[in-house]
Amino acid sequence: LPLAKASTSLSLSLQAKMSRPVQARRLEGIDKNIWVEFVKLAATYSTVDLGQGFPNFPPPDFLKEAFARALGGENHALHQYTRAFGHPPLVKILAQFFGKLFGRELDPMTDVMVTVGAYQALFCCFQAFVDEGDEVIVIEPFFDCYETMVKMAGGTPVFVPLRPKAPKDGKLMSSADWQLDLAELASKFNKRTKAIVLNSPNNPLGKVTPLAVLGLIADLCVKHDILCISDEVYEWLVYDGKEHIRIASLQGMWDRTVTIGSAGKTFSATGWKVGWAMGPNRLLQHLRTVHQNSVYHCATAAQEAVAQGFQREFALYGKPDSYFVQLPKQLQQKRDRLVQSLDAAGMKPVVPEGTYFLVADISAFKSDVPDVPNSDEPYSARFAKWMVKNKGLAAIPLSAFCCEAHRSNYNHLIRFCFAKEEATLKTANDILQKWKQEKTSP
């Protein structure tokens, strides 16, 4: 009898196996992600990881100390839930700090929301604003999640590429040589357009959008009554005396813009996952609905430490001791170091005006990694895989930052992150110069 019982339950459990499709329609076509593969490859093979965008140097001491105080201090409330839309000390200082930069008073309770990294701020925007059938304009190459997040919300991303112009003779290309065709951009605005995503400084090129272009984009937004989602996570990482301009500070834009920032990029602490969205209450109220019904809030102690970091920076704004002054200075040197290494090796860099990324042209290395005609895999991905496996150098192919239809335009490009210790950049240089020697010696 027990045997019969066992066999009945076995057959029931076999029948109980699910056979119906489980995946929600909104995930169709977005379930493969290049980061999973490339982060794993870097962990397995790389000697030098210049792939994923994070510093391998520590955040500033004042920030680490603030986190340690938050964890070890007497205020036990910092271990518990805080206000859902942002820990009060953090939203207050963010409102004060950025209010000054936007030239307007921000209400910390309604005009600022703290998120789990800039990533979640983006997610909240797309979920809050994009309906089935809506179009969202995305400038290419772009931070990859814009495309998938628009699609997940039921919208259609519409891509407008930055187009490279040849640099002057003998000069290296700059991210400033990649430009929008403004007539092409204007042609993409129509009745279905709900929003445009801006990312200046831009990942992966490091392009800083100049004021004149921001002004024209603003005019288009106002003319067509379009929202602007402005991802400004690299706002402090701008080089060569260039200036970061916040599009929400241009005429007519505050009312229609959500500006997104990240403590991860601002304070070199990407693992803390503290980000924020700022804008008028009429927009942020909808972000709060998504946030309240998804993650609820971001880690309290991390928010407390970031609040203290901003309080320090508020007092030091523009002064030589400010981290926001020091960090770009250090990163500009690192940029120049990697530019030099790549240029000397014959892997032509596009010199970035901002961010901690730079894109390089791999055309001269094609003989090492022959193309496979009609392969499904984009060439830049094949190349980056080969490079990490054979040279121990990890980078990200530009195929990660463009739509499928435009992949062939980016096949000769890969992205490096230069927010790395001197020793790491030196090892990268050693690898590149040795590689060049091997190529040139008979």
Contact positions toward ligand PMP, by CB under 6 A? 53, 117-119, 143, 199, 203, 231, 233, 262, 264, 270, 275
Bridge partners of residue 9, in order along the sequence: none
CB of 259 to ligand PMP, least distance (A): 12
Cβ within 8 Å of residue 277, ≥6 positions away: 112, 113, 115, 121, 124, 125, 258, 259, 260, 284, 287
Bridge partners of residue 113, in order along the sequence: 277
Cβ within 8 Å of residue 257, ≥6 positions away: 227, 228, 229, 230, 247, 248, 279, 283
User: Closest CB to ligand PMP among 42 and 431?
Assistant: 42
CB of 159 to ligand PMP, least distance (A): 16
CB of 258 to ligand PMP, least distance (A): 13
User: Closest CB to ligand PMP among 55 and 280?
Assistant: 55
CB of 265 to ligand PMP, least distance (A): 6
User: Closest CB to ligand PMP among 246 and 391?
Assistant: 246
CB of 204 to ligand PMP, least distance (A): 8
**Which tokens sit at 164?**
């490279």
User: Closest CB to ligand PMP among 8 and 33?
Assistant: 33
User: Closest CB to ligand PMP among 135 and 232?
Assistant: 232
User: Closest CB to ligand PMP among 118 and 138?
Assistant: 118
Q: Closest Cα to residue 35, out of 387, 414, 397?
A: 397
User: Closest CB to ligand PMP among 59 and 345?
Assistant: 59
User: Closest CB to ligand PMP among 256 and 265?
Assistant: 265
User: Closest CB to ligand PMP among 175 and 199?
Assistant: 199
Q: What is the rounded distance in angstroms from the CA atom of residue 342 to the CA atom of residue 360? A: 8
CB of 143 to ligand PMP, least distance (A): 4
Q: What is the rounded distance in angstroms from the CA atom of residue 361 to the CA atom of residue 409? A: 12
CB of 396 to ligand PMP, least distance (A): 10
Query: In degrees rounded to 5, what are phi and psi of residue 180?
Result: -80, 140
Q: Which residue is nearest to ligand PMP (CB)?
A: 117
CB of 119 to ligand PMP, least distance (A): 3
CB of 231 to ligand PMP, least distance (A): 5
CB of 399 to ligand PMP, least distance (A): 16
User: Closest CB to ligand PMP among 53 and 157?
Assistant: 53
